[in-house]
Structure 1
Amino acid sequence: MRRGTRLVVALSLLSTMLTLGAVGSPSAGAAEVRGRYANALKPKTSTGARVESCSDPSVLRGRGKYARYWYMYCTSDPLSDRDTARTGSPTFRRLPMMRSRDLVHWKYVGSALPGKPSWASASAQLWAPDVVYSSTYKRYYMTYAVTDTIDRVSGQPGCAKDPAIGVATSATPTGPWRMGSIVVRPKRLGPGCSFGSTIDPDVLGESIGRTGVLYAGGFRGGIFAQRVALAKYSMRLTGSSRQVTIGRRYEAADVVSRGGYYYLFVSSGSCCTGPLSGYGVFAGRSASPFGPFLDREGNPLTAARVGGTPVLAPNGNRWVGGGHNTVFKDFGGQWWTVYHAIDKFKPFFANRPGFTKRPPMLDPIDWVDGWPTVRSGHGASVEWGGSPAAQPKQRSRYRPAPVPVDVLGAPVAAASDEFDGTALDPRWSWVRPPVDPATYSVSGGTLNFATQAGGLTGRADGASVLTEAAPAGSYVVETAVRLNVPATGCCQDYVQGGLVVYGSDDRFLKLTHVSAGQTRITEFGKEVPNGGKGYPRYGGFTVGPPSDLTWLRIVKRVSGGHSLFTAYTSQDGTRWVRGGTWAYDELGAGERIGLVSLGGAGFVSTFEHVHVWSLGN
């Protein structure tokens, strides 16, 4: 679409191609599944108590005599408020296991491991299990992360963050599990206790023979892919590893094969900051399981201006922080994802403010022009009408419905500025004017605004904010910004420039191009007043990758008496990436729009324009 007529075409025609996958296509006489379900899923224990948290879920269909059931495996955590309500240490269930016949109603069937492996330290946690079946050995192989290993394993005394990947095997999907040895040892990044995030294992496929491909890694050091070989009770690495994502960006790999491509699903953002968690799911694809994985616009997931096409982002309803997903196809050919999310109205375990509860969620995945998106771009559901086809000769009632496209309305000339001339238009005003007027200027059709130390602190030494009055009701605001941090390398942490929707220093939204370690990202952040013990003040999620000149847009939609703000980014001003949505009703009557350039001195944000429109639909 031409720039200036529509924001983004959020979807094109839905792909109808079914793919090679786990369970095949429906038969001609398949019966429609008529069940309904509501998120979050509500697994039950044998006593009928509800399981309220199942973080980092992984789902597998059983094989042989277990083929009627689906199995879900979770990170070690309390199951519910019953495990935290008492004083003292909460009760952790070690790698909880669930079972279901319909993928909706789940039963807790116990902890996978009775103890920790001998090479785990006393303080270690067991995280993020993944289970794959071997048709050669007729056994199930569970890989899992151990967060802290003993000194003789890492070779570094006294480290608490030297994680590794272990394996356990079983003849059944629910054990008993026989512990094997280490599969991936701690990965050293530097001297001392500098180790990579050797976590979040995923073996490609649901059923393999003697060999497979293992993905593991996370924020520290990136994600790697390497071949593995199986024996009856063990798994070992073979060949060399390939890095498939840059460090400080992604974790929680899950890879599926579809239509001649391998799709790498990964998660990014803060997983566990309660109602402001910005966790989300992104994807890249490759013709090889070892990459390179590129996003829809062709950006590598290993680049400093890091690629990744949004799959699941917050949509303004009660669910935030959706991520660490598992992806599979049902018997009717429909793809689904199970992931964890956070209820922003009930984010924490009882008696543990700050300890985030992450219940399991279920939603369909649609493929739009070859790219996955949850519910055709609608994101996490509260209630949905089409349950999965979890058994043979079934088909789902789910039917995709495209997400509405945000359309530009009439330009708001009084709020738009091309930065012609040599001075700011009188419509602009400063929150804390720059101490040195020479740190900003208007010339050559741009606003040059030096980055300032600090952020929006509310103190006199806080960063400056250039603002103007926001239009009433729904609107769209856009800028294009050059942030002259180096395109690669570190270390300009938190230096940023971009848009702000401003109520006060305690109430604002901020969409900026940010330098974060070795990466360059766009982040849509939300600041709220102090909510009490355990509650965060700030949260943010990423959108699309930046460029030399990065276009940033915020769409405000007033709907049902609520204000929803959606982020868009572009590398060329034509192809737009739609990000997530923050709900924010508390900005106040004095809401303003504006520009910021902050996070560290020594650089410049150059703004080419501010354009404002009404919202056309």
Structure 2
Amino acid sequence: MIRLSLLAAGLTLLVSSVSHAAAPPAVGYSNPVTAGYSADFPDPSMIKGRDGWWYAYSTGGPYAKDGHDGDSYKIARSRDLTHWEKVGSVFNATNRPTWADPNSGFWAPDIRYLDGKYVLYFTVPNTTTTPGDWDYAIGAATAPTPAGPWTDSGAPVVAPRPAAGGGFQWTIDPAEFTDSDGTRYLYWGSYNGGIHAVRLTPDGLRTVGAVTDVARDRFEGPYVVKHDGYYYLFGSSSNCCAGPTTGYAVFAGRSRSPLGPFLDRFGNDLNASRTGGTPVVASNGNRWVGTGHSSVVTDLSGQQWLAYHAVDRTDPFVTNSNGWLLRPMLLDRLDWIDGWPEVNAGAGPSESSKVSPVTTSSATAGNVRAEADVTGSGQGVSARGVTAVLSQGHLKVTNSVGFTRSVPVPLDAPGNIALEVRGNQATAVFSEDRLGDPLATVQLPALGGGTAAPMGGAGNFSVAPLYKPVTRAAPTPRIGSVDGRYSDEFTNGLGAGWTWRNVSPDATVTNGELQWKTEANDLTDNNTAAKASLLLRDQPTGNFVVETKLHLDVGTDTVRNYQQAGLLVYLDDENWMRLDHVAGGTGRFIEFGKRMRFTPVGAPSVVTFGGAMIGPPAETTWLRLAHDVVPQTGEHRYRAASSTDGKHWVWGAAWTLPAGTTPRIGLVSQGSSAQTEAQYGKATAQFEYFRVTR
């Protein structure tokens, strides 16, 4: 995606030889885009087939809301990316991998087009290759078409990997990436083991060399694209499947190497104990929570879109159940703001969009994108006086005055040439599968007008107006002036307005700060929730932001489960939110957790808890919760943010509480355990202030 200057007016583009009848793009669509086809479509992966259809693949599950119909592994297809129809399943009794346990399902597909064939990477959670259960492994199947028939490669691409503490790492969620030098990589991993990368053989079916750890065990569902010279690793974080409190969200880091290190916007490593990650999409207070496990697709205008699954917090389960979760597929625009990917410029998941992906060719003037599938020398596209063709193993681009640039294509394989002309700059890209991993890129000036057309018998040709990049981020919450009626600087004991629920003997105000040792009681534990000490006060009406500056001495890399401290929004012990610096395993993170009682349709009520990750913590971390009222529902909405310097903030997920309730705000310091305290003692939370701004 290139941002370039505008060309002087007056140039005209003519369109000819398009493969589909010219038509204006459909206007508007609603999420989930799989509605009407399947109630469940988790872990989506997508590709544009060489037959002109888009294909999507997902983990198995039910088609029907009541769960009565399903497949072990789903394939769907679409002409417009927003309406999908059933193709069928990947595996059946005749082609099921022999090394998969007969009772095993198949998870998390990744689709590619490599060396003239379709390759589907898949997860087998239980194999016959070891005597153990849950010995996760990754396989690959090939097919001549996106619909199959699929032939398993005969053995795992990544075999089960023993875990240090016994059992097996979660060798799941594969994603392939081919670098511009032709080297193929496979990424995979999850919370038990972290995210890894390894080189693949040219056919993509076997691994080569050492495995590299690229992200902490805070992430799963990796996906890699290359953009403006950087490699971007997308990963999903937090719990995938907690009903209406599912905190799943997508984060990204970038690197100059496909093997990392991957750093977030502020330079934090995704592989560090205080784990980095720049938010790509997270819940925003509307219908959708659990926004994760993403892949990227490009429409005919060049605009990228993020395909991911989500949970409808108002109706998350299969009918008459309170645990069988439905995760349909959503599609939203992926923008690049100051070098970072953000869904809808940071506004988050949509319930509906006024603009649909461009999926049909149309006559256009001005900035343009033309593309076609190519199989041999002399094939390519032309637009605005520029030609881009495959020529004797090179991507050769020539403009209207005969200026030519040529770069080698490292793989002798069928692929796709996309030519974008924005203003007076032309950019041509050769890739195998249009999935964000270009093999060759050429830029040169575009100086004239001309016809857009395929060249040399190239197939699946299209032309469309070039997308207009969104470069301004959606606004973040406004920070007003401090309201002293609801704030406390802790300069002379606890100020007015505070109320204890179970006074903590370990909380004192000393040297202008509240010092509070982490207690063993925890609001998430039904056995100790009522005993937990809470420091609470009334919240103001209307919009406000509550902020605290917190030092928590939990260090890094040691296991201090689950000492934590931070901000609290509290209704009762079954309905609350907590924005904490948390020690979990050897990692440290900021978690925006929510607990609620929920009554599914036709089933008994349940209490669920889930957490959404925000930014990384530091020795001293600043925390914010921004409150407003959702206009459509009257719900209280709280959006979380964190900072490691008090100046640069990471804004993340939002949770809601019901309309008509009276939440209170405050502080907590809890989550310790006897085992942790025996080894390390209690942690001490030091709150420097509690400020409400309006």
- Place the TM-score, normalised by the shorter chain, in its bin: 0.7 to 0.9
Correspondence for 2:649 among 573, 576, 587: 576
Are residues 1:120 and 2:189 paired? no
**CA–CA distance in 2 between the matches of 1:429 and 1:397?**
55
CA displacement at 1:535 relative to structure 2:
3.8
Q: Spell out, residue by residue over 1:214-244, the C-alpha distance to the aligned partner (whole angstroms, 9 max, x if none).
A: 101111101111111144xx71001211111
CA displacement at 1:328 relative to structure 2:
2.5
**1:474 maps to what in 2?**
543
CA displacement at 1:274 relative to structure 2:
1.4
Q: Spell out, residue by residue over 1:282-335, the C-alpha distance to the aligned partner (whole angstroms, 9 max, x if none).
A: 000011111110000100000000000010000111111111010122221211
**CA–CA distance in 2 between the matches of 1:100 and 1:62?**
10
**1:516 maps to what in 2?**
584
Residue type of the partner of 2:553? N
CA displacement at 1:510 relative to structure 2:
0.8
CA displacement at 1:534 relative to structure 2:
7.1
Are residues 1:611 and 2:691 paired? yes
**1:7 maps to what in 2?**
none
**2:498 maps to what in 1?**
428
SS at match of 1:511: strand
SS at match of 2:612: strand
**1:486 maps to what in 2?**
555
**CA–CA distance in 1 between the matches of 2:652 and 2:358?**
30
Change in Cα spacing, 1:229 to 1:399, as seen in structure 2 (3 Å) is closer
**1:3 maps to what in 2?**
none
Are residues 1:186 and 2:258 paired? no
> Retained in 2: the 8 A contact 1:43–1:98?
no
Q: Which has the larger radius of gyration?
A: 2
**2:205 maps to what in 1?**
235
> Retained in 2: the 8 A contact 1:273–1:536?
no
Correspondence for 1:36 among 6, 22, 28: 28
**CA–CA distance in 2 between the matches of 1:182 and 1:475?**
53
CA displacement at 1:411 relative to structure 2:
1.5
> Retained in 1: the 8 A contact 2:109–2:122?
yes
Change in Cα spacing, 1:236 to 1:102, as seen in structure 2 (3 Å) is same
**CA–CA distance in 2 between the matches of 1:330 and 1:489?**
46
Change in Cα spacing, 1:35 to 1:473, as seen in structure 2 (3 Å) is closer
Q: Spell out, residue by residue over 1:365-389, the C-alpha distance to the aligned partner (whole angstroms, 9 max, x if none).
A: 1111000000011111111121112
CA displacement at 1:252 relative to structure 2:
0.5
Change in Cα spacing, 1:333 to 1:287, as seen in structure 2 (3 Å) is same
**2:573 maps to what in 1?**
505
**1:5 maps to what in 2?**
none
**1:88 maps to what in 2?**
none
> Retained in 2: the 8 A contact 1:500–1:508?
yes
Change in Cα spacing, 1:340 to 1:296, as seen in structure 2 (3 Å) is same
> Retained in 2: the 8 A contact 1:387–1:397?
no
**CA–CA distance in 2 between the matches of 1:499 and 1:509?**
8
CA displacement at 1:458 relative to structure 2:
8.4
> Retained in 2: the 8 A contact 1:502–1:587?
no
> Retained in 1: the 8 A contact 2:34–2:330?
no
**CA–CA distance in 1 between the matches of 2:647 and 2:253?**
21
**CA–CA distance in 1 between the matches of 2:527 and 2:692?**
27
Change in Cα spacing, 1:209 to 1:440, as seen in structure 2 (3 Å) is closer
> Retained in 2: the 8 A contact 1:354–1:535?
no
CA displacement at 1:28 relative to structure 2:
7.9
Correspondence for 2:636 among 555, 563, 588: 563
Taking structure 1 as the reference length, the TM-score comes to 0.86
Residue type of the partner of 2:507? Y
SS at match of 1:478: strand
Q: Spell out, residue by residue over 1:229-268, the C-alpha distance to the aligned partner (whole angstroms, 9 max, x if none).
A: 144xx71001211111112x10001100110001111101
Correspondence for 1:529 among 591, 594, 597: 597
Residue type of the partner of 1:201? P
Of stretches 221-230 and 183-192 in structure 1, the one that deviates more from structure 2 is 183-192
Residue type of the partner of 2:637? L
**1:245 maps to what in 2?**
215
Alignment of 1:392-403 (within 5 A): 392-395=462-465, 400=470, 402-403=473-474
CA displacement at 1:410 relative to structure 2:
2.6
SS at match of 2:474: coil
Are residues 1:446 and 2:513 paired? yes
Q: Spell out, residue by residue over 1:565-613, the C-alpha distance to the aligned partner (whole angstroms, 9 max, x if none).
A: 1101000000000011112125833x32111000015111111111111
Are residues 1:409 and 2:480 paired? yes
**CA–CA distance in 1 between the matches of 2:516 and 2:249?**
31
> Retained in 1: the 8 A contact 2:335–2:469?
no
**CA–CA distance in 1 between the matches of 2:498 and 2:664?**
10
Of stretches 399-408 and 123-132 in structure 1, the one that deviates more from structure 2 is 399-408
**CA–CA distance in 2 between the matches of 1:460 and 1:360?**
36
> Retained in 2: the 8 A contact 1:551–1:569?
yes
Are residues 1:75 and 2:44 paired? no
Q: Spell out, residue by residue over 1:152-178, the C-alpha distance to the aligned partner (whole angstroms, 9 max, x if none).
A: x23xx3x32210001111111111001
> Retained in 1: the 8 A contact 2:221–2:235?
yes
- Gap runs ≥5 in structure 1: 1-14, 19-25, 45-49, 86-90
SS at match of 1:183: coil
Counting aligned pairs with the same residue, the percent is 40
Residue type of the partner of 2:683? F
**1:139 maps to what in 2?**
117
Change in Cα spacing, 1:125 to 1:418, as seen in structure 2 (3 Å) is same
Change in Cα spacing, 1:428 to 1:330, as seen in structure 2 (3 Å) is same
Taking structure 2 as the reference length, the TM-score comes to 0.77
Correspondence for 1:214 among 181, 186, 196: 186
Q: Spell out, residue by residue over 1:451-494, the C-alpha distance to the aligned partner (whole angstroms, 9 max, x if none).
A: 0002125868622011122112221110011111122221x222
> Retained in 2: the 8 A contact 1:58–1:129?
yes
CA displacement at 1:418 relative to structure 2:
1.5
- Gap runs ≥5 in structure 2: 5-11, 16-21, 361-461, 674-681
**CA–CA distance in 2 between the matches of 1:460 and 1:305?**
28
**1:550 maps to what in 2?**
621
**CA–CA distance in 1 between the matches of 2:630 and 2:558?**
42
> Retained in 1: the 8 A contact 2:614–2:653?
yes
**CA–CA distance in 2 between the matches of 1:258 and 1:17?**
12
**CA–CA distance in 2 between the matches of 1:16 and 1:397?**
10
SS at match of 1:365: strand
**1:383 maps to what in 2?**
352
Give the alignment's Cα RMSD to 1 decimal. 2.3
CA displacement at 1:140 relative to structure 2:
0.9
CA displacement at 1:281 relative to structure 2:
0.4
**CA–CA distance in 1 between the matches of 2:165 and 2:615?**
34
**2:459 maps to what in 1?**
none
**CA–CA distance in 1 between the matches of 2:257 and 2:180?**
17
**1:17 maps to what in 2?**
3
> Retained in 2: the 8 A contact 1:255–1:263?
yes
The number of aligned residues is 561
Of stretches 30-39 and 468-477 in structure 1, the one that deviates more from structure 2 is 30-39
Q: Spell out, residue by residue over 1:96-146, the C-alpha distance to the aligned partner (whole angstroms, 9 max, x if none).
A: 1011121112111010111432112233210011111123xx211111000
SS at match of 2:334: strand
CA displacement at 1:519 relative to structure 2:
0.9
> Retained in 2: the 8 A contact 1:494–1:600?
yes
SS at match of 1:479: strand
Change in Cα spacing, 1:459 to 1:204, as seen in structure 2 (3 Å) is closer
> Retained in 2: the 8 A contact 1:210–1:229?
no
Are residues 1:172 and 2:252 paired? no
